[in-house]
Amino acid sequence: MSMDLPAIAQSRLRLRLPDISAPGNRQSGSTRSTSCIAPRDNLISLVPQTNYGQTVEGYPTFYFYLPPTEARQLKLVMLNDATNEFVYEGRFSIQANSGIASVSLPNNGLQRPLEVGQRYVWYLAVICDENDPSADVVVEGYVERVAPIAAADEASPTVLPAIYAEEGLWYDAVNASAELKEDGSSTEWETLLEAVELDDLIAVPLLTHLSFQEQSAASDSQ
């Protein structure tokens, strides 16, 4: 079952998300006075209001808004939602100050891909104090890997966002739209953010993947 969400009228992209919700918070909320992020600002993950999204990728990419911060590291943690087993934990060094950034589950020959039909909970944390985990600024979401779709096999990059959006594949639609935005086409990106009520982030610059390099990881590669 799918539900239609708002879209920019002139765009060919139509976002049809599965009618599934998950616990979590796509926005970090108010932070401690000693935090490395200003109290009036927030870490925000680019996910639907339901905190749930699907992907066909074994190594998906997660986009988020990083507010101005003095922190130099962030952490991505993933667990299997059914078994609560750790799937991945890795740190990324922050080389940029603020903007829309992304981190990916690393396809490094050691890390196992997400399994089709499995749902995972992921946490993204800005590490404010290495010695105090309670000072981390955290957002949480869910991702489920689903079977590949034939329509995307030979599609050009310019139509991939619309194909993924129509199929309800949030993470893939965002990633494909980000790649088009880097090439100068921002319509799909703007449509997606408006559809999930994140239009306040449309004007925020998109940082490159090189701004967030994996520093170290402890992954389930068995």
The predicted structure's pLDDT at residue 86: 96
3-state SS assignment for residue 144: strand
**pLDDT value for 35:** 82
Q: What is the DSSP letter of 114?
A: P
Which phi and psi (to 5°) does residue 45 adopt?
Answer: -90, 140
pTM of the full predicted structure? 0.88
Q: What is the dihedral of CA 117, 118, 121, 126, to 10 degrees?
A: -90
| Cα–Cα distance measured from residue 122 to residue 95, given in angstroms and rounded to the nearest whole number | 22
Report the C-alpha gap between 120 and 179 in whole angstroms.
Answer: 25
**Mind listing the pLDDT tens digit for each residue in 156-213?**
999 999 999 999 999 999 999 999 998 888 999 999 999 999 999 999 999 876 556 6
Q: Say which residues have a Cβ less than 8 Å from residue 189's Cβ, sequence separation at least 6.
A: 177, 178, 180, 181, 202, 206
For residue 138, name the pLDDT band (cuts at 50, 70, 90): very high
Burial of 82 (0-12, 13-18, 19+ CB in 10 A): exposed
d(CA 118, CA 125): 23
Phi/psi at 7 (5° precision): -145, 155
Residue 123 to residues 53, 62, 120, 189, Cα–Cα distance (Å): 14, 10, 10, 23
The secondary structure of residue 213, as a DSSP letter, is E
Q: Contact, 165 vs 16, CB < 8 A?
A: yes
CA-closest candidate to residue 66, choices 132, 138, 140: 138
Whole-number average pLDDT of the chain: 88
Q: What is the mean pLDDT of residues 80-87?
A: 96
Six-digit token string for 183? 């090439």
pLDDT at 6 over 70: no
DSSP-derived letter for residue 37 is B
* pLDDT exceeds 80 at position 219: no
